[in-house]
Chain A
């Protein structure tokens, strides 16, 4: 067994520097690497380019990095829940690259799978396709999109083992599974880190080869963005 285990979030995030490109898993606040984001705030690395489907909310998730102006550029598909984000974007302080969600996911997956580029119909005929190569396949127009190139990928899983194997829970799998292994170095924070041999190999979602450093997060707040319930009748 090759161990991917590190002792804590500080060790896991060693080497992250100003100006780097970082992928962060999660959809909204679901499945975000909370402990790593808190450490990025503490380390105060700046000029970051962040690839993440959303940008958190004003006081949680990537919103914390935005508040401290640590992000130079955001690559996302939807950023509607964050007033500070909108302010920085409309004032030009923050560079924003909006990308269709499926394209964003596939650009991660392509990087993870060693594919430099792919064609998708998403965005053809819109401003997303401007300046990009387009091509017809089977009578339909497609846009060429490139795999992301990132320095670090930070993902969050439910369970993991010392070998770096990951299991996700519910819809917290979202971008975490496609970002694991999609950057030069992948960091995984997990709710529960167990010895190798504990997890059933049949149930592993992401094999440890895709994860360089794994640690158990100290605490998970797991905030809910839209608490919707129904009444018991």
Chain B
């Protein structure tokens, strides 16, 4: 069975280690916060200018002055801090943030990512994504394996305008966990019940497949 969005988030949450400062993008990445182990210390950064983000506020306690980069009302946890946007991207460029999780429209086998523009159709802008992918050392992409038209988003070469080059380290989709190696995409894990052949079929890029591919462990 292919994973749903929450299960993708659950799998990615396993990549979050004790002591990590983590930046979460909009969409599936935001859900990751819900599944991080509770016995470790993790702080979430949002690039508009907050570190130590907590859950959404209780109804009636929303504060227009406290939002995340998705413009959602949030709360802060003990130890949190606010800062301006230039300072925020300073800590991103200086690689103080340990892990960046974001969505994508396309990822290529050399680690290029495209997620900000479909020429002539959709131009929302790159927001902070270009800064994040250019500087972060550890980038995981959370996305669906194929687009709405059924075309693979895991490609030999991106077709859309790029957000960053050679930066993605890992991709988690509803079908598979893929690592980007100097030789291309390596299949690490498959979703429970999904066959390696199904993943090959849904992937335009070549896959490096070594030995038996284990199933993802998602409880």
Contacts and interface: CB of A to CB of B under 8 A. Distances in A.
| A-B complex is real | yes
Contacts of A108: 86
Interface string A187-227: 00000000000000000000000000000000000111111
A126 B130 contact: yes
B48 A30 contact: yes
A230 B58 contact: yes
B124 interface: yes
A123 B117 CA distance: 14
B181 interface: no
A58 to B, nearest CB: 15
A81 to B, nearest CB: 8
Contacts of B204: none
Enumerate the 6 nearest inter-chain pairs by beta-carbon distance, A residue then B residue, closest first: A102-B89, A102-B131, A80-B124, A125-B165, A177-B84, A170-B65
Interface string B136-172: 0000000000000000000000000111111000000
Nearest to A53: B85
A169 interface: yes
Interface residues of B, number: 54
Interface residues of A, number: 57
A53 B85 CA distance: 10
B123 A77 contact: no
Given A169-B65, A174-B49, A122 B131 contact: yes
B71 A28 contact: yes
A148 interface: no
Contacts of B66: 170-171
B126 interface: yes
B67 to A, nearest CB: 5
B17 interface: no
29 contacts: A27-B67, A31-B65, A53-B85, A86-B123, A89-B123, A90-B120, A98-B125, A100-B131, A101-B131, A102-B88, A103-B131, A105-B84, A105-B85, A120-B134, A124-B164, A125-B162, A128-B126, A171-B48, A173-B49, A173-B84, A174-B49, A178-B86, A225-B71, A226-B70, A228-B72, A229-B56, A229-B59, A230-B56, A232-B59
